[in-house]
């Protein structure tokens, strides 16, 4: 049918690690590149601004009251993004000018929560340059819990991006059945999964979600190589000595609703690539399985989702 297709962009890039402004410059350039290639949506990796906390497992990150860990954390918070305070305004302006929607992974600091804790957030910006949702990762994974605060359900939302309905999750929360179900039940048929990087993360889950949901699944990873570590970070020499040449190796990919590859996992290179997806394939594949439609039983099982933005204080003034 007419208008059944959408071109999507995969922006697999490395951050300028722990440098918010220079990383945003790279993101804007990649967004412009995707738009030139005809994309109506471009997605970036998890925690890309200002980067994944790769120092934790390489510098004895669980040591309590460590001056080195405190120095890293202080810089991380300083370079995080105040979304509510306009920290993504430049990217929103580009999205509006180029008429392209964007999913981007940022470390978010929230002034309403004092601004010294960071949330791993997945931000959706629509083609009008408006922020549609800020999804804070529900549960940080393993060493991430030493650095990141836990999120809430406020950002578990889908967005109309004709002819698709798009939603997304951060990294390992893509393995959470109920988190996925919350998006399926809101009409999702294009799922965006963002990752810090590595094919070992994306190769199985991308195809699994596609087969389960009969949706397109776009997995977008970041990159991080030893050469990307700036020399002005705390204890540069120790981190460099403990870092592998390639710490996160890409693996961005795109699966059809059949579970087959449209874009196979990409190698460890910075690249902006695009592919065109067709909504008719979604409709065809849901003939036999639509887990929130004709194959559901809401009279037997139903999911409740709390989308309240959590706060430690609720003020009531007379």
Give residue-wise pLDDT tens across range 21-31: 999 999 999 99
Q: Confirm whether 156 is domain-assigned.
A: yes
Kindly indicate the confidence band of residue 2, based on its pLDDT and cuts at 50, 70 and 90. Answer: low
Q: Confirm whether 154 is domain-assigned.
A: yes
pLDDT at 1: 61
Q: What percent of the chain has pLDDT over 70?
A: 99
Per DSSP, the residues of 39-84 read -SEEE--TTTBT---TTGGGTTTT-TT-HHHHHHHHHHHHHSB-TT
Task: Say how many residues make up the chain.
Answer: 318
User: Can you give the residue range of the structural domain that contains 100?
Assistant: 5-285
Residue 104 — φ and ψ, nearest 5°? -140, 140
* Digit-coded pLDDT (tens) for 240-263: 888 899 999 999 999 999 999 999
pLDDT at 235: 82
Q: Confirm whether 301 is domain-assigned.
A: no
Q: Confirm whether 297 is domain-assigned.
A: no
Residue 242 — φ and ψ, nearest 5°? -100, 0
How many structural domains compose the chain?
Answer: 1
Rounded to whole angstroms, the Cα distance separating 159 from 192 reads: 12
Q: Which of 93 and 231 is assigned the larger pLDDT?
A: 93
Q: Confirm whether 16 is domain-assigned.
A: yes
Q: What percent of the chain has pLDDT over 90?
A: 88
pLDDT of 101 strictly over 70 = yes
Q: Confirm whether 216 is domain-assigned.
A: yes
Cite the active site residues. 46, 137, 171
pTM: 0.96
Q: Confirm whether 317 is domain-assigned.
A: no
Q: Confirm whether 169 is domain-assigned.
A: yes
pLDDT at 318: 59
Rounded to whole angstroms, the Cα distance separating 129 from 294 reads: 35
We report the CATH number of the domain holding residue 99 as 3.60.110.10
Rounded to whole angstroms, the Cα distance separating 282 from 1 reads: 13
Average pLDDT, the chain: 95
Rounded to whole angstroms, the Cα distance separating 215 from 213 reads: 5
């Amino acid at each position: 049918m007419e208008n059944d297709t959408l071109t999507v962009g995969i922006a697999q890039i490395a951050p300028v690690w722990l440098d918010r402004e220079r990383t945003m410059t790279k993101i804007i350039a990649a967004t412009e590149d995707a738009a030139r290639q005809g994309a109506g949506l471009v997605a970036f990796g998890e925690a890309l601004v200002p980067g994944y906390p790769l120092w934790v497992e390489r510098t004895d990150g669980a040591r309590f009251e460590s001056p080195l860990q405190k120095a890293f954390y202080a810089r991380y918070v300083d370079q995080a993004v105040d979304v509510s305070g306009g920290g993504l305004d430049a990217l929103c302006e580009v999205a509006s000018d180029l008429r392209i929607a964007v999913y981007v992974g940022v470390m978010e600091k929230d002034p309403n929560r004092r601004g010294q804790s960071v949330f791993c957030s997945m931000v959706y910006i629509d083609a009008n340059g408006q922020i549609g949702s800020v999804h804070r990762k529900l549960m940080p994974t393993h060493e991430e819990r030493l650095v990141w605060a836990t999120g809430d359900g406020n950002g578990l939302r889908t967005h109309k991006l004709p002819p698709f309905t798009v939603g997304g999750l951060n990294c390992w929360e893509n393995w959470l059945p109920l988190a996925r179900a919350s998006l399926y039940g809101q009409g999702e048929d294009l799922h965006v999964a963002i990752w810090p990087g590595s094919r070992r993360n994306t190769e199985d889950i991308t195809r699994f979600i596609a087969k389960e949901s009969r949706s397109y699944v776009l997995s977008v990873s970041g990159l991080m190589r030893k050469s990307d570590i700036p020399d002005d970070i705390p204890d540069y020499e120790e981190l460099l000595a403990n870092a592998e040449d390639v710490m996160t190796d890409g693996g961005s990919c795109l699966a059809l609703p059949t579970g087959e590859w449209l874009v196979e996992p990409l190698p460890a290179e910075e690249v902006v690539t695009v592919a065109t997806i067709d909504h008719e394939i979604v409709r065809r594949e849901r003939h036999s399985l639509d887990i929130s439609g004709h194959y559901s039983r809401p009279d037997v099982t139903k999911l409740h989702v709390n989308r309240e933005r959590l706060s430690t204080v609720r003020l009531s003034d007379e």
